Structure 1
């Protein structure tokens, strides 16, 4: 509810409408009884028994989509209110090994952590620790963004709705080179801002900042708060917001990144820095309990995690996240940590996907009108498999059959995740490049207010640049042309085939090094502080 707007409270399916308007005599707007039921919405009628039929067919759907996609394994769960209709594992935890996935196998769920974290916040709103409208600066001493007015007015809800004005993926580059949560949140002040509260830019560390304000207000770190407020009360015994806890599970799924037409377990991903936005690990059994709690408007098995009033803003539209390209196209909306949409059948859905290019893809959808939720968690990078499993199941529930080839369509939509990054992608090295300066002239210590210090050293016939808090993020710089060198970045945001430039400017006007891969928001230039 926005301050200054008259609230409207409707008891759906009942016979009472209560309308309150500020600055108007109460007697004019007293509750009035009506003698007809209030329909919730116009929706397509379900085929008879379609939920049970879809659940029965679901294992075949999963097996087919895993086979077509090449992803090694998945776990899927379906709930109706508090009844678990299915919780099952498919495939193997790690390719090349025999250990099978079951309903207890723990996965990294990437950005599906966001709605789970949002319910932690809703629990603290219920307890009166914070509200969605609480300014972040009330609890994060010294926090700032580039605009002082935005800094003063920025709320927890703004950050959970991705409407702070921070650019897309702000802070992810700092995580990639090894910085911790505290450093990243502090350096968000250097990011350029888009218009406040009218721009949707998906930002992991924006949301993480909101969660950090909540945990400070609660007087406990985020991972512990999540345990105390959500995981333990719901009996989510295998769920954690600490990567170390994930590693303690023998029954855990490995990450598999896409290589050619297949998937290989090449990487590990430790996302503690952005834990509220991407660091939850869980299994199908625990996700079933969490979805049932959301379906129950904050209550599960008689235990209240959050009041309906505290949870509703999170699962209601707060900003347009996807503007229509055509007049008859539905807009996409985002709440506080949840996507909010409408199915072709006319039913409202709340949902979220998660993806690590290094090897995870997840999706859940809840249909509140049906009291129905489904989650699919996989151990392969994002090619649309998790979304396809969920979408085909919901098609069969609502229409009796699949309406399209969801794996093919989602695969096209998510293809950008695997697109190589960097200004030298698809560029050919010059056949006759201008020679570089003597390599020693590029060596030395370089400083950058956002990324921190870098050290450039001569290494054989090229250069080695060391970045990050301890210099452990290394880039081999290979001569390209003149004062330009090439490098291959690594990490979550550098899919296979990525290649970028390092451009040195050395002269009377100053000495700078620009790493184009890190210069998306104009922050990727280092200045030499001392020669090598």
Structure 2
């Protein structure tokens, strides 16, 4: 062994055996154990990077609850919206190569692109696709992406955007968006001369050595070790929307379709935390800085002020940027049914964290991220998983009644005779057709292009809601009937006002086009 390498190894070994390192491991283990037990997670993978080195990894649980196959650092998880930073990195590589400019109009690459307002169409730049400033409602049009599977295409997304009405002025405020990341992926494909999936493999996975990351179509048996999503049902973790033998390319790849292992994600974090010069071959210093530059201001929540002492919050290109206890923080989360991820970095400290969960892990992700961050910014042993879980419970207890789901337990199945005048086939210009038709003595609502949006209509007092057959579709919808002149109309709304914004029922406006068959 060369003398220099031997000295480096001895220094690293010395640090790993130091009291500080052992104390850190103990703190991380305690948080890991508490989160795993408190939230009864089916599987969890956590890693920490310090100064370019992975100093902590831990995994627990199973790929599928009850089947015995263990989660490890090579297990593939859906990283969901942490995909967005990989999409923007792909675009940044194209900018470095001179194939694209951030301020290019979108129509330069996609002439068919249309927003509801022609002025916005003409002035929408590539950068605007990435920073959630479109003026659309949060999650607008997401029903073309989720729940999966569905039959919407990327061409459907681009076409449908023209029918989504803005809620605010273009570039006036932040509202989280997924559809425009699909457009961004198609812009990358047009500029890069290859499909989005090919570009991500070429521009991100290959140069960084993220060997197990997958996007597009692949075979489960050939890759192996793939975590499945779960939801809590009757006090246990139950797999939902499990993979078949072949993972097919989906419409939403550029917004949330990539899967990676813990080891891959730690490689990703190390690349971003590396000194500028060492990453020059992958991404130029100018583009690294651009991606992490605030582009669109975001609200600073009460929780951010109280927990982190935050003064600013903004969106860069695929990353959320904020200050926490005086430190600059770069982060993003990813959420899909039964899968949660988080990537958090404190660049000035050379520190980063990865969290991957294959169950209902929203609160678990929040509290574990906070404990990991506070280990470096506050060093206060009282800031534990239990502490933050208690704060969240207090928030929930103080939530106004108007923000809570109403009691719909006093429901009964609606009859076809009650809804006789409303039965028929309805059409929305971006979502397509739904049928509201007799199913025996009941009435069923079924979406033509989204197979999981299929359920029986219930009556609650003088209101109607649809109870979806598949329990993984966890946001029931109110049905609201009206007449537009002589054409019966149908609108939908969330029963639970806190339901995920991707159930964007409010953006639907159906008109009846024909009778039931």
Task: Tell me the TM-score normalized by structure 2.
Answer: 0.81
* Residue 269 (structure 2) aligns with: 291
Unaligned runs of 5+ in 2: 1-17, 495-502
The answer on 1:102 being equivalent to 2:72 is yes
Q: 1:349 aligns with which of 329, 343, 362?
A: 329
The answer on 1:450 being equivalent to 2:443 is no
Distance 1:72 1:298, change over 3 A: farther
Moved more, 272-281 or 471-480: 471-480
Distance 1:525 1:201, change over 3 A: same
* Residue 3 (structure 2) aligns with: none
Give how far 1:255 is off.
Answer: 0.8
Q: Does structure 2 retain, via aligned residues, the 8 Å contact 1:239–1:283?
A: yes
* Residue 7 (structure 1) aligns with: none
* Residue 219 (structure 1) aligns with: 193
Give how far 1:477 is off.
Answer: 2.6
Unaligned runs of 5+ in 1: 1-47
* Residue 305 (structure 1) aligns with: 282
Give how far 1:506 is off.
Answer: 7.1
* Residue 23 (structure 1) aligns with: none
Q: Report matched runs for 1:159-198 at 5 Å.
A: 159-176=129-146, 178=150, 179-193=152-166, 194-198=168-172
* Residue 466 (structure 2) aligns with: 487
The answer on 1:125 being equivalent to 2:95 is yes
Distance 1:391 1:507, change over 3 A: closer
* Residue 408 (structure 1) aligns with: 389
Moved more, 169-178 or 105-114: 169-178
The alignment partner of 2:180 has SS state of helix
Q: Does structure 2 retain, via aligned residues, the 8 Å contact 1:447–1:526?
A: yes
**Cα distance between partner residues in 1 of 2:233 and 2:381:** 29
Q: 2:316 aligns with which of 308, 320, 335?
A: 335
Moved more, 498-507 or 360-369: 498-507
Distance 1:215 1:298, change over 3 A: farther
Higher helix share: 2
**Cα distance between partner residues in 2 of 1:119 and 1:403:** 38
Q: Provide, for residues 31-54 of structure 1, a one-character-per-residue CA deviation record: whole Å limited to 9, x for no partner.
A: xxxxxxxxxxxxxxxxx9756642
Q: 1:476 aligns with which of 456, 470, 473?
A: 456
The answer on 1:90 being equivalent to 2:74 is no
* Residue 232 (structure 1) aligns with: 206
Q: Provide, for residues 406-428 of structure 1, a one-character-per-residue CA deviation record: whole Å limited to 9, x for no partner.
A: 45168559979xxxx99994246
Q: Does structure 2 retain, via aligned residues, the 8 Å contact 1:332–1:340?
A: yes
Q: 2:338 aligns with which of 356, 359, 364?
A: 359
Q: Does structure 2 retain, via aligned residues, the 8 Å contact 1:165–1:195?
A: yes
* Residue 508 (structure 2) aligns with: 523
**Cα distance between partner residues in 1 of 2:224 and 2:418:** 52
Q: Does structure 2 retain, via aligned residues, the 8 Å contact 1:161–1:335?
A: yes
Give how far 1:452 is off.
Answer: 1.0
**Cα distance between partner residues in 2 of 1:492 and 1:113:** 26
The alignment partner of 2:71 has SS state of coil
Q: Does structure 2 retain, via aligned residues, the 8 Å contact 1:70–1:261?
A: no
Q: Provide, for residues 160-190 of structure 1, a one-character-per-residue CA deviation record: whole Å limited to 9, x for no partner.
A: 1111212100121222362233212320111
* Residue 39 (structure 1) aligns with: none
* Residue 275 (structure 1) aligns with: 253
* Residue 10 (structure 1) aligns with: none
The alignment partner of 2:145 has SS state of helix
Q: Does structure 2 retain, via aligned residues, the 8 Å contact 1:355–1:382?
A: no
Q: Provide, for residues 461-513 of structure 1, a one-character-per-residue CA deviation record: whole Å limited to 9, x for no partner.
A: 1122331337674232345678x643114779942xx4333345579722333
Q: Does structure 1 retain, via aligned residues, the 8 Å contact 2:240–2:472?
A: no
Give how far 1:214 is off.
Answer: 1.7
**Cα distance between partner residues in 1 of 2:371 and 2:473:** 31
Q: Provide, for residues 273-329 of structure 1, a one-character-per-residue CA deviation record: whole Å limited to 9, x for no partner.
A: 2212211100111111111111126776x6622111112122121122124557975
Q: Does structure 2 retain, via aligned residues, the 8 Å contact 1:353–1:387?
A: no
* Residue 459 (structure 1) aligns with: 439
* CA RMSD between the two structures: 3.6
Moved more, 332-341 or 515-524: 515-524
**Cα distance between partner residues in 2 of 1:294 and 1:258:** 35
Task: Tell me the TM-score normalized by structure 1.
Answer: 0.79
Distance 1:91 1:473, change over 3 A: closer
The answer on 1:318 being equivalent to 2:257 is no
**Cα distance between partner residues in 2 of 1:511 and 1:167:** 25
Q: Does structure 1 retain, via aligned residues, the 8 Å contact 2:49–2:353?
A: yes
* Residue 14 (structure 2) aligns with: none
User: Number of paired residues?
Assistant: 476
* Residue 241 (structure 1) aligns with: 215
* Residue 228 (structure 2) aligns with: 254
**Cα distance between partner residues in 2 of 1:460 and 1:422:** 36
* Residue 66 (structure 1) aligns with: 36
Q: Provide, for residues 116-142 of structure 1, a one-character-per-residue CA deviation record: whole Å limited to 9, x for no partner.
A: 222222211211121222221111121
* Residue 366 (structure 2) aligns with: 387
Q: Does structure 2 retain, via aligned residues, the 8 Å contact 1:456–1:463?
A: yes
**Cα distance between partner residues in 1 of 2:489 and 2:330:** 48
* Residue 376 (structure 1) aligns with: 355
Q: Provide, for residues 227-286 of structure 1, a one-character-per-residue CA deviation record: whole Å limited to 9, x for no partner.
A: 011101111111022264567532111111233655322334888322122111001111
